[in-house]
Structure 1
Amino acid sequence: MKLDRLAVNVIFLINGFIYANWIARLPRIQELYNLDNKSLGLVLLFVSMGAISSMPFTGWLIHKKSSRFITLLGAIIFCLLVPPIPLLPEVWQVRILFYLLGVSAGLLDVSMNAQAVLVEKKYQMPIMSSFHALFSVGMMIGAGCGALFAQFNVSLFAHFVSVVIVSLLLVAWASRHLIRDTPQAQSGESGGGFQLPTKAILSIGIIAFCGMTGEGAMSDWSSNYMENVAHSSQALAPIALAAFSMAMTIGRLFGDRARSYFGDRKLLVYSGSVAFIGLALSLAFPVSLLVITGFFIVGLGLATVVPIAYSIAGNAPGLPSGVGLSMVTTVGYSGFLFGPPIIGFLADWQTLRIALLFVAVLFALMTFLGFRSKF
């Protein structure tokens, strides 16, 4: 594997690793700040608001500064904002911190995928899923770390500082090997400003919205569902997230081959159907082992949805890759914007089990849109 591809893989892995570490400890964060489900949903809403506010302009920043520069900037800020999470005295301060965390996540998500598109173009073959597989590997490892630190009752601050130090060392290594793309503004290339999504981009963006809402729901609420609905232990709860991430990893490792065999349209239909079946199993039988199995199936279903969407957007004709990606990620990440509060409100109104039916409906919608779309 060439070093530039390996460096982009490392960035994807770090992103998933850091994200899963603090997400896996959400029940403890919820307890620390005395948050009910609705309040937790509102706190998570600020992460999504931060990402949504930064993503539309990340394409412009890449156009001005290069995807390498924005990738490193986003990765460093994302890492440094995690350790202060358990140290703030007021909930409103937590919301501000989570907003900034979302801003950095938005910068990182668009720019690292722009780097992935550059590598994919060098290879001249579909390899986008392999990058997202490393994100899932990071999620899986991060969830496992979360379970381990919880098992030994390690404080949140000590936990987060430990994983951030390791991650920043990896970022330092990757900085030497990321593709040194020239800022397009300096090369005289136009088209890097803020633009609204085209009809074709909007279509794939809606599919990304459904898939990313599902990913966010599995990440944000899996531990809570395991503890509060399946009545699992605190140490076992993050295993559902680990299973989901493992399945995403497996699906993405074979995703590029599946795209070549089935085509994007059929694969999206199959993906939506499998995700729906997995979530239905978890909701129908809230027993720890079956929930873990169901979340694993959901992971298999969602594995290729976002890589397909990003690959199409990054190679959209007539658009710089960063701009196309910023359009789709903005539409897709609005799922993270609306998902957490909707699930939180529904969980407080009814139960978390019923609230997750909203996600199952989105999986059905994604299947329908995949059937109707033409790529």
Structure 2
Amino acid sequence: MVMSARAAVSGLFFLNGLMVGSWAPKLPVLMQRLDISEAVAGGIVLVLGLGSITIMPVFGALTARRGSARAVRLAALLAVPTLLLISVSPNLIATMATVFLFGGMIGAMDVAMNANAVAVERGRRRAIMSSCHGFWSLGGVVGAGFGGMAITLLGEVWHAVAVTLLLAAGLAVILPRVLQDAPVAGGAAAAPLRLPRQPLPYVIGFMALCCMVPEGAILDWAAVYLQREMGASLSLAGWGFAGCAATMAVMRFLGDALRHRLGAVSMLRLSALVAIAGMGIAGMAGTPALAITGFALAGIGIANLVPIAFSAAGNLPGLANGIGLSVVTTMGYSGILLAPGTIGWLAERMSFSSIYLGLAALLMVPLLLSPLARTADFAAAEEDEPAERAA
């Protein structure tokens, strides 16, 4: 049963990544169909992010009140038709509304499935969060890689129909096997749904934000850096993010075993040090090859920072399940939302080399705050709150 639950939550991560990856090739098609500029397209992307950070706290509260299984079921079912709705939206206003819904349901599913992964970790007493995020990365690669080909062969609408049917079939298999972690009788009424008053979730959320900003900076600006300041060709410049993404995916599948062996705190420290070294090499590199090597090394370090932070947030003592996690995921993903524009503004005033060195310094934050990852180790969490793990 536990193994089935582990496979189910891994499948949820894969399908969520598949949806996000399937969105990536749609934006150029939307720009052409709606006849909109890059600036307006940027507004659409912003609306997607706003949908996520708006709905995430709502589903954090729902997870606390009803359990992650119910919350992820609702979010996933509401997410299924959203790509199709975007594809048939007739004008810009309708498109923005459906993109907001898409971003909101993706974010809602993200909070609930991370909470479910924490529940499975507790039951197994072994880390699974990193590999779950590895399945998310794999889903993103499949969605983006095949999405462009499917849109070319089938058209925008039929691509969305195919993805919708695939999601529905996948969820029909997965959802009955999701670990049922609904609160015991009386727990729902007792669970406080207000924002936490203790500072710890917000500090961990800030740590997650500092981990995700460098990831977003590589995703959005590595190719520009390699072209503008290194003179790399377009084909070579694409390897900046590709190198990072590849090492991240591999390390996420290896991360659970390493975390179990080393402990969450030591794993977080080691990951932060490797990420700092990678970003530093990328920032100081004199050739494209060395910069790409730096980005790949940074991916090794960045890969497990956020999964450990999420596990720590999901096991904070004294908080209803889902509340701490919703705070941390919302703050963390706001880093991805804020990074592109902020770095673009800075890039007009300083070199990308300086920016990447600054991001290496930003990764000192998770290094210094690494003791907060203690609650991601199950023995430590049980020492802090032995009574709350019976569920």
Flag whether TM exceeds 0.5 (same fold): yes
- 1:255-306: CA deviations, max 9, x gaps? 123224444344334434444555566676796x777665544432221011
- Tell me how far apart the structure 2 counterparts of residues 147 and 222 of structure 1 sit (CA, whole Å): 22
Using the size of structure 2 for normalisation, the TM-score is 0.79
Q: State how 1:186-335 maps to structure 2 within 5 Å.
A: 186-187=186-187, 190-196=190-196, 198-219=198-219, 232=234, 243-276=243-276, 278=278, 295-335=295-335
The alpha-carbon distance between structure 1 residues 318 and 196, as it changes in their structure 2 partners (threshold 3 A), is closer
Structure 1 counterpart of 2:168: 168
Q: CA deviation at 1:35?
A: 2.8
Higher relative contact order (CA 8 A, sep 6+): 1
Over the residues paired in the alignment, what is the CA RMSD in angstroms?
3.5
Q: Given the superposition, is the C-alpha separation of residues 168 and 220 from structure 1 closer, same or farther in structure 2, using an over 3 Å criterion? A: farther
Instruction: Indicate the larger mover: 3-12 or 193-202.
Output: 193-202
2:361 corresponds in structure 1 to: 364
- CA distance in 2: counterparts of 1:80 and 1:242, whole angstroms: 30
State which structure, 1 or 2, has the greater radius of gyration over its C-alpha atoms: 2
8 Å CA contact 1:17, 1:138 repeated in 2: yes
Residue in 2 that maps onto 1:102: 103
**Cα shift readout 1:155-207 (whole Å, capped 9, x = no counterpart):** 33333332232122111111110122324575455233122363222222111
**How many positions carry a matched residue from both structures?**
367
Q: Which runs of 5+ in 1 are unaligned?
A: none
Is the 1:20–1:142 Cα contact (8 Å) retained in structure 2?
Answer: yes
- Asked if structure 2 preserves the Cα contact closer than 8 Å seen for 1:265 and 1:371, the reply is no
Q: Which runs of 5+ in 2 are unaligned?
A: 373-391
**Aligned mates of 2:215, 2:233 — CA distance in 1:** 22
| Structure 1 residue 51 displacement after superposition | 1.5
- Tell me, yes or no, if the aligned pair for 1:211 and 1:306 is still in contact at 8 Å: yes
| Matched residue, 2:155 | 155
Match of 1:43 in 2: 44
The one-letter code matched in structure 2 to 1:195 is: L
Question: What residue identity is the alignment partner of 1:361?
Answer: G
Length-normalised TM-score, structure 1: 0.82
Task: Give the C-alpha shift of residue 217 in structure 1.
Answer: 4.5
Q: Supply the AA of the counterpart residue of 2:42.
A: G
**C-alpha displacement at 1:221, in angstroms?**
6.2
CA distance in 1, matches of 2:272, 2:7: 30
Q: Equivalents in 2 of 1:299, 1:156: separation in Å?
A: 32
Cα distance, 1:301–1:147 mapped onto 2, change above 3 Å? farther
The 5 Å alignment of 1:135-150 reads 135-146=136-147, 148-149=149-150
Q: Distance in 1 between matches of 2:143 and 2:277?
A: 26
Contact 1:59 1:192 in 2 (8 A): no
Question: Any conservation in 2 of the 1:3–1:177 contact (CA below 8 Å)?
Answer: yes
Q: Distance in 2 between matches of 1:18 and 1:260?
A: 30
CA contact (8 A) 2:277 2:297 kept: yes
Cα distance in 2 between the residues matched to 1:137 and 1:22: 15
CA displacement 1:131-172 (0-9 Å, x = unmatched): 22211221222232245447x565333333322321221111
